Amino acid sequence: MSVSRGSSLFLLPATLLSASGFVLFALENRLLGFSMLIAAILGALLVSRGLAKDLALVAFGLTVMSLIPVTTDISTGHMLEMGAAMIAAVAVPYAVSRWVYRDHAVRFPVLTGQRWTRAEKMYLWVVPPLGYVMLGYYMVSTGVYRNWPAVSDPEGIIRLFIGTNGLGIWDELFFICTAFTLLRRHLPEWQANLLQAVLFTSFLWELGFEAWGPLFIFPFALLQARLFTITKSLSYIVSVHLLFDFVLFLVLLQVHNSGWWDAFGF
């Protein structure tokens, strides 16, 4: 069956794969989630071999991450376990895309040679104060800051810093540079963006961004993919994400150690 790129038939298996991420991470139902992943790939085979190959790469990353506890535990054992899974979830799709498929669709453009515009630079200045107010109110009003460990000793603070920032970098490597990029090969940009944002948001929900967290995480995921499309720069979207993560790190230290939340009247 010959189906043109962008057909609605491409959207069906891709949507099923995206929905499987919600089931695996937000609902934590592995049996149903894995069944949906398999169905998505088999359905894609009926439409396009290329689509099936690309969905399989995304499915691999989702599977790897769903097999470990996605939590904010910063113990050595858990950080090593999550770190190994995160590396595999990104490195294997990259390696397969480059050396097995030989299309090199998955890329991590750092030194692009393209200068950031004035608007892009200004946005970097807006991110910290905006993030501080938004994350501060969110963490305090919902109490979700308790999903992160309370640390006050130097070693704990360093571990928290590494954990929050390392995960932020991985989010961009997998959800944007891998999932979004592969989906965009077969779907219009807006469809690929919506589907990756569902994956992005579902994963962070399991990590601890519960309550009304998806109301700002989903738009953030959409914006990150759009910025990547415009700038074609991993460096830029990682810079944006790390600014948010640094603010998250500071907020967590404050709410756990200082009584700062009293300023919000809670």
Q: Which tens digit of pLDDT belongs to each residue from 75-96?
A: 999 999 999 999 999 999 999 9
207: closest CA among 243, 177, 238, 252? 252
Indicate the SS3 state at residue 28.
Answer: coil
Number of neighbours of residue 100 by Cβ within 10 angstroms: 11
**In this predicted structure, what is the pLDDT of residue 7?**
67
The CA distances from residue 45 to 19, 41, 100, 165, in Å, are 18, 6, 18, 37
pLDDT for 3 beyond 80: no
pLDDT band at 113; cut points 50, 70, 90: confident
19: closest CA among 194, 207, 172, 173? 194
Which tokens hold the place of 177? 């540079």
For the stretch 157-210, pLDDT in tens is 999 999 999 999 999 999 999 999 999 999 999 999 999 999 999 999 999 999
CB 31 within 8 A of CB 24: no
Mean pLDDT, range 201-226, rounded to an integer: 97
pLDDT for 264 beyond 80: no
Q: Which residues contact 149 (CB under 8 A, 6 or more apart)?
A: 72, 73, 74, 156, 160
What DSSP element (H or E) covers 195? helix 189-207
Rounded Cα–Cα distance for residues 64 and 73 (Å): 18
**In this predicted structure, what is the pLDDT of residue 4?**
56
Which tokens hold the place of 260? 């700062």
Number of neighbours of residue 190 by Cβ within 10 angstroms: 12
pLDDT for 262 beyond 70: no
